Every structure is written in structure tokens, then in C-alpha cells.
Amino acid sequence: MEQHEVERIVAARGRAADEARPQALAAVRDAGALSARERLAALFDDGVEALEYGILAAAAVDGVADAPADGLIGALGRVHGAPVVAAAYDRTVLDGTQSDRNQRKLARLVTLATMRRLPFVCFVEGDGARPGDPLPPPPVVIGPRARWDVYDGLAEMNGLVPTVAVVTGRVLDGNAGIAFLADCVIAVRGAEFGSRDRATGAVVTRGVEVDAADGHVDLLAEDEDEAIAAVRRYLAQVLLRSAPWEQDPGYEAIGEVIPDNRRRAYDMRRIVRAFADRDSIFELGAGWATSMITAFARIEGRPIGIFANQPLSPLAGAIDAAAADKAARFIELCDAYELPLVSFIDNPGYMVGPQAERDGIARHHARPLAALQHRTVPLCSVQLRKAYGLGPYAMSGYGTSRIQPELRLAWPSVESGGMSLEGAAFLVKRKEIQAASTPEEARAIRDHYAETMRDATTGLRAGQSYSFDDVVLPAETRRRIADVLAAVPTPIPTVKKHTVDLR
């Protein structure tokens, strides 16, 4: 072997290291960011040095000599001891743009993850297609092939292996497309999505905070360290099928969260936190469709998915079009990766009215019903308080088909019906209410009827009529559900079950 060639290879590898590029690394530090390699090293258990793919790849643009790894670092490493494929665009190299070479590298990583069913993480930052990147020799169809392999490959991975995109800075055009093909999008506050007008060069961007409110970003992180920690927590849900656990110290008092006054709101997140293992909650989409909570969690060390109504939201837990989409997508996500489901129900049904119709409630309301019908993972539902109309079906699937929850529990504070008790009062007591001399008298008539009917639909009556498998004390809930989930196995499927909706 020629020593001269060996020395050239060693030197080229050395030039690609962060330490060999002090000016670029200083710019990264000035921006308060991590380098692409540091992001992967922080993600993996043991760093990335020996596992990198394509470290010698170079830019094909004329006049560009310093383009380590052609602006895309790719690696195979371990997260929580399990193999994970990851990539990171490097903004210090030609603005993190996409080239034929680095897209072929990314396609290689996507293919590896797909073949071996390994989770895939991509740190997306950069300005889209690289200006001046030459096409390879004929046939020219080879030119865009890697680009299509990336996007088609990510689409093929959907529902097959977990995919996470981490947005760390400005993301334009094709780089943004990669993010929105991932199961989970985690973004650092201050990052931006946008596009460039190829004719004028003008760039239009929007902050990721806007995308989080619209449901396009699943989680906002304060900085890159927090974002990477969130990726590791997300992957723990699918990589670690058991983990050490402690019961939340507030669990025994979980029932005290429910107010004595049935019209008073409360924070469902307190219920979810108390029910799950201590510090195991990982919420998705907290800023979008706020009447619905979706979160990964654990119960006795076992990963589960929880979806729940939020009475404290502006809609009092009612299900609008966005909440229906949010629940359906989460159910699909958990079912694809074999995570059992638990639902907590307290809602006045679906939203109705002109605005709800304009928002598409007629089209969207069936999505959670269909997702529950198609699931194969276990589902346990807990009705805490009210559930009217189709609301309980959207949260448990009960009544939609023969695919019913493995366990349906209720708390003593439960109440159910075709509509709210107050709404029923306006129908049954319409004449008396209309004849009332003051608004206060009308409300008194309504409330008296509602309370009378409430007494007729108590938890005891619900149990006696076998509306639920059992009406339990709140502190009994966790044990009952843990026993059912332990008795119902959820093996990892050998083939892809189905895709997951991409927002």
C-alpha cells in the first residue's frame, strides 16, 4: 500500500474534524449552538467518531475546497443501548444546502434504517438545494435520484420505524420537507421554516412557534441540549419496553383533583401525571388543539400512550376538528409502534355550530373513530366525569364496532347521555324556562332539572346498568389498568401495520 495515499486519506479525515476548523467552530459558538458532529455525539450513548458514514465526501461546486463531509454528517450509533441511524446538516458548510452527493449519503442512511428497522433521527438546518451543484454525467436522471430516494424513503419509513426531525435553525425548501415527513418534529425556539424565491432570491420565513400552534411541530425546546434530551426521551418510548419506575407521590390523592362542583373545570394534566410513573410523561403537541392532551408515559415501567380531554381548555374538553385530528394521529402512532393506549374522558361531546362546520368537523369527527377501529393494541378507557353524544366513542371506540376497549372504567363522578344535562333541560323544561320572569329563575329551573337527572345517572347507577366494566375509586385505577396491560401482550409486528398521518 502506498504510504503517500495513506497519508492523504488520514489528512483528509483530520481536516473534517471540528478541531481543524476553528473559525467555523467559533461561529457556531457565537450563535450559541452546537456543531453538527456535537449534536450527534450528544444524541448517541458513546459519541460518533468510529461510526461516521461518508466523512470524505466533498462538494462538487467549482472553487470550493473546504466542505467537510459535503455538509451532512451521517452515523450509526446507539441510544439507550439500541442502534439508531442519525444525520445532521452542517450550516457552516455552504449554508447546510443539499447536494447530489450529500443527498445520496442521506439516502444511504435512510435505506440502512429501513432495511434494519432502526430509528432514524435527522437534524435539519439549511437553505435547501445548493446553487451551482452540477449534475452528474448522463444519464441525467441519476441527478435527482438521491433526492427522491430520501423523500420516498422517509415516506416508506412512516409507520415502520420511528423517525424524529430536530429543527435547530433556519430551514428552507427541501430541508423543511425532510422535517415534515418525520413522525415527531422537535424544534428549538427561535428556529424558522421558510422558502426561497428562486427568481428573486427573497426568503420568507415563519417562526417554529407558529408551527407548534398549528400542529406542525410536536415539541418546542428552549435550546439544543433540551431538544436532544427530548429526542432521547422520545426514542426511549419505543426502544425500552421496560424501565425502572416509581409511583407518582400524588397518586393516592388523584381523586381530589375532581371538584365537588360538577361545573367547575380542573387540569387533566394533573390526573395524567399522577396516574403515570413518576417523571415519565412526554407530551406531544401541547400548544395545538388544546382541548386534547396526547402524551407518552409509562405504567410500572411499561411504555403507553395517553390521550385525554382537557376540561381546563377554552372548549372545556369538547372535541373540535383539530382535536379529532390530534387524537387520531396519536392513536395511529401508538398503534404503529405497539404502545398500549389509555384514555381519560371528560368532555361535553363534539363541537357544533357554524364555526365548527367551517373548520370541517363533519369531515374530521370520524377520524378518531376510524383510528380506534383499526387499532390492534390494547386500550383501557377511564371516564372521570361527563361524556355526551359521540364524545365517549371518540375517546374509547365503544359502540363503533366489535373492536372495543379491553377495559372500560368509570369514577363515581361519572355522568353520560345523548347531550349535556343542561341541554336536555332546555328541551324537557322549555315551557317553564321560557315562562320564567328573570334569567336567574330560568337558570334555577335548568339547574334543578340537571341535578335531578345527575342523581339518576350516578356512578352506582352506571355500574348497576353495566354501562362500564366497573366503577372504581380513583386510587384503584392504576392497579386495574396495569393488570390488564400485563395480561395482554403486544408483540412487535414483523411487517408495517399501517402509516401514520403526516399532519
Burial pattern 383-414, b for ≥16 Cβ within 10 A else e, equals bbbbbbbbbbbbbbbbebeeeebbbbbbbbbb
The reported pLDDT for the residue numbered 17 is: 76
Q: Are 320 and 351 in contact (CB under 8 A)?
A: yes
The reported pLDDT for the residue numbered 451 is: 64
The reported pLDDT for the residue numbered 424 is: 47
Nearest-angstrom CA–CA distance, 202 and 48: 37
Q: Are 295 and 280 in contact (CB under 8 A)?
A: no
Q: In which residue are the cell numbers 373545570 written?
A: 265
Helix segments in 31-143, DSSP class H: 36-43, 100-116
SS3 200: coil
Low pLDDT (below 70) residues in the chain: 1, 20, 48-50, 58, 60-65, 135-148, 399-402, 417-435, 441-442, 444-458
**Upper half-sphere CA count for residue 348 (Cβ side, 13 Å):** 19
Q: Are 326 and 288 in contact (CB under 8 A)?
A: yes
The reported pLDDT for the residue numbered 11 is: 75
Nearest-angstrom CA–CA distance, 448 and 464: 24
Q: Among 430, 375, 381, which Cα is nearest to 401's?
A: 375
Q: Among 445, 376, 383, 387, which Cα is nearest to 409's?
A: 383
The reported pLDDT for the residue numbered 427 is: 47
The reported pLDDT for the residue numbered 380 is: 97
Nearest-angstrom CA–CA distance, 410 and 462: 8
The reported pLDDT for the residue numbered 96 is: 85
Nearest-angstrom CA–CA distance, 472 and 327: 25
Could you say which DSSP state residue 402 is in? Answer: S
User: What sign results for the dihedral spanned by CA atoms 22, 27, 32, 35?
Assistant: negative
Nearest-angstrom CA–CA distance, 159 and 496: 6
